[in-house]
Amino acid sequence: MARIAVIGAGMGAMATAARLAVAGHQVTVYERGTTYGGAVGRYEREGFAFDTGPGLLHLPAVYRDLFVKTGKRPLETCVDMVQVNPAVRHVLPHHGIDVTLPGASRGGVAAAMESAFGTGAGERWNAVLGRARDAWDATRRPLLEEPLRPGARRSLGDDPYPALRRSGLLRRRPPTLAEVADRELGGALAELLTGVVRGYGIDPATAPASAAVLPYMEQTFGSWYVRGGMRALATAVYERCLERKVAFVFGAEVREVLVADGRAAGVRLADGGEAAADTVVCGIDPRQLPAGSLPWPSDALPARGDDVPGRITLLLALRGARPATAVHRTVVHAPGTQVTVMRPDDPATRPDEEHEAVTVSAVPGPGTSEPTELLNLAEKAVQGLRERLLWHEVRTPADIEAATGAPGGAVPPPALAGAGGRLLRPANTTALPGLYLAGGWAHPGGGLAHAGMTGALVAGLIVEGAEFRGSQ
Ligand SMILES: Cc1cc2nc3c(=O)[nH]c(=O)nc-3n(C[C@H](O)[C@H](O)[C@H](O)COP(=O)(O)OP(=O)(O)OC[C@H]3O[C@@H](n4cnc5c(N)ncnc54)[C@H](O)[C@@H]3O)c2cc1C
């Protein structure tokens, strides 16, 4: 049994902790805040309740697997998880388009697209997602289910999306997502594809076409909501950790990873205290730890994440009932920008049936930096929004920084293949023996599902050693 120190109580770190405890290790999580879950927060006021972080989970299999591997009770008995249906509504006011796409129905999505975007739109969309499936099949294991192998950075740097080739044109470089959207979808429909990476703050003009795997994943595996709010998922993972005898120390900010005899030997806390450990799992952006305290190989960390943006979120308390026809998630597209409007049909989010809780979020940028700009766009999704508004709260990137510690409130996107490996994250192993990276800042990147995967990868590497080849 080894003593393992885990830095941070985010979702990736807790998923790792639970798996390591099951393997018989003595695990202690050091969390600088007063609670678990990191970005997965909840704000409550006057009977209204809002998710302040993620509002939906894609790839629920990641957490199903975590619960199967760490105890007797499966995920579904610990949280009430529902697939969102319809999956999403897209509003493109500048094109006069308002379309609702059903969940888990390829044919239904195609039919809705045909009627909103014109003849052939559904077929073109399905063809793009078909090619995205090929990219997914080609990279799913090395990109998501296996530790980042030596050399993978180079091989995954090639874009796996089989873009349609234009006859007569020499292909000097693979097309970007924006180019694929333009060529293979065209017109307003293209905005549905580019919007997926915009939601992560990635510029479609520089994003690899392989980012088409993101809508493929959404459409194939669905979008899932946890009744009572997404925080319930964090609570379930925390409780699973406690069941497995993981110890949590709150109010314990880690300042440094201790090194002895050339390997990680514990953590130093902000109060000067030291905790010895045989192995350390860093569940935060490792660049938060003082430079020089970690002997990184030169290519292990990308440049500081100033390019990774935060989010601005409005929590809206509305008078009046949520209409039965309201869609859980609406994306309002405007030229070069967009907002996401969440209207969960969940009594736990409102004081009574005469009120509604709505969350509006965006990557801050031109057209989405000010709350009034967000409200203007959200009004396209929620009729009579301003007249119904009782009060609102604004959550800025500074609030996210307070919850996660990530400088600037940055929210790391999932890792993507292509773009020369620019959108991959550092490997879960480091140059310092005994130090591992988990959470959204490590391979395979951010988002609830991807960060959850770091738990399987890091625990596998620690338990089985460097020969661990990924989860089955
Ligand atoms: C507004 C917002 C919206 C999002 N929307 C979605 C979505 O719709 N779908 C989706 O899948 N994902 C979404 N995400 C991302 C998702 O929430 C995260 O990727 C996921 O929760 C994984 O987080 P993590 O494991 O990296 O830990 P984090 O959430 O980053 O938590 C890190 C933890 O470490 C602690 N910590 C930091 N520094 C120290 C230190 N020095 N010592 C000790 N503890 C420390 C922090 O207090 C925190 O508890 C969203 C995030 C935000 C903020």
Hey, which residues does 279 pair with through a beta bridge?
4
Number of Cβ atoms within 10 Å of the Cβ of 205: 11
Mean pLDDT of 201-215: 95
Mean pLDDT of 285-298: 69
Cα 469 to averaged position of ligand 1 atoms, centre (Å): 26
Q: Within 13 Å, how many C-alpha atoms sit on residue 326's CB side?
A: 21
Q: How much is the pLDDT for 409?
A: 94
Q: Among 20-24, 62-66, 218-222, 327-331, which stretch is predicted with the lowest mean pLDDT?
A: 218-222
Q: How much is the pLDDT for 300?
A: 55
- pLDDT for 122-156, tens place per residue? 999 999 999 999 999 999 999 999 999 878 888 89
Ligand 1 atom closest to residue 451's alpha carbon, by position in its atom list: 22
User: Mean of the per-residue pLDDT values for the chain?
Assistant: 93
Higher pLDDT, 255 or 292: 255
Mean pLDDT of 328-341: 95
Architecture of the domain defined by 3-40+60-71+231-306+413-464: 3-Layer(bba) Sandwich (3.50)
Mean pLDDT of 350-372: 95
450 vs 89: CA distance, rounded Å? 24
Cα 170 to averaged position of ligand 1 atoms, centre (Å): 43
pLDDT confidence tier of residue 293, bands split at 50, 70 and 90:
low
Q: How much is the pLDDT for 336?
A: 84
- pLDDT for 43-77, tens place per residue? 999 999 999 999 999 999 999 999 999 999 999 99
What is the residue with the minimal CA distance to atom 16 of ligand 1? Answer: 447
400 lines ligand 1 (CB under 6 A): yes
Ligand 1 atom closest to residue 13's alpha carbon, by position in its atom list: 25
| pLDDT beyond 50 at 298 | no
Q: How much is the pLDDT for 403?
A: 95
| pLDDT beyond 90 at 305 | no
15 lines ligand 1 (CB under 6 A): no
Phi, psi angle pair for 63, to nearest 5°: -80, -30
Cα 307 to averaged position of ligand 1 atoms, centre (Å): 17
Ligand 1 atom closest to residue 340's alpha carbon, by position in its atom list: 8
| pLDDT beyond 80 at 166 | no
Structural domain boundaries of the chain? Answer: 3-40+60-71+231-306+413-464, 105-219
What is the residue with the minimal CA distance to atom 4 of ligand 1? Answer: 54
Cα 404 to averaged position of ligand 1 atoms, centre (Å): 5
13 lines ligand 1 (CB under 6 A): yes
Number of Cβ atoms within 10 Å of the Cβ of 413: 23
pLDDT confidence tier of residue 258, bands split at 50, 70 and 90:
very high
| pLDDT beyond 70 at 414 | yes
Cβ neighbours of residue 235 closer than 8 Å, sequence gap 6 or more: 36, 37
194 vs 329: CA distance, rounded Å? 17
Share of the chain above pLDDT 90, in %: 86
Using CB atoms within 10 A of its CB, is residue 133 exposed (0-12), middle (13-18) or buried (19+)?
middle
What is the residue with the minimal CA distance to atom 52 of ligand 1? Answer: 53
pLDDT confidence tier of residue 291, bands split at 50, 70 and 90:
low
Cα 249 to averaged position of ligand 1 atoms, centre (Å): 18
Phi, psi angle pair for 355, to nearest 5°: -140, 165
Cα 455 to averaged position of ligand 1 atoms, centre (Å): 14
Residue 219 vs residues 58, 82, 185, 349, 360: alpha-carbon distances, Å: 10, 15, 17, 26, 22
Ligand 1 atom closest to residue 448's alpha carbon, by position in its atom list: 11
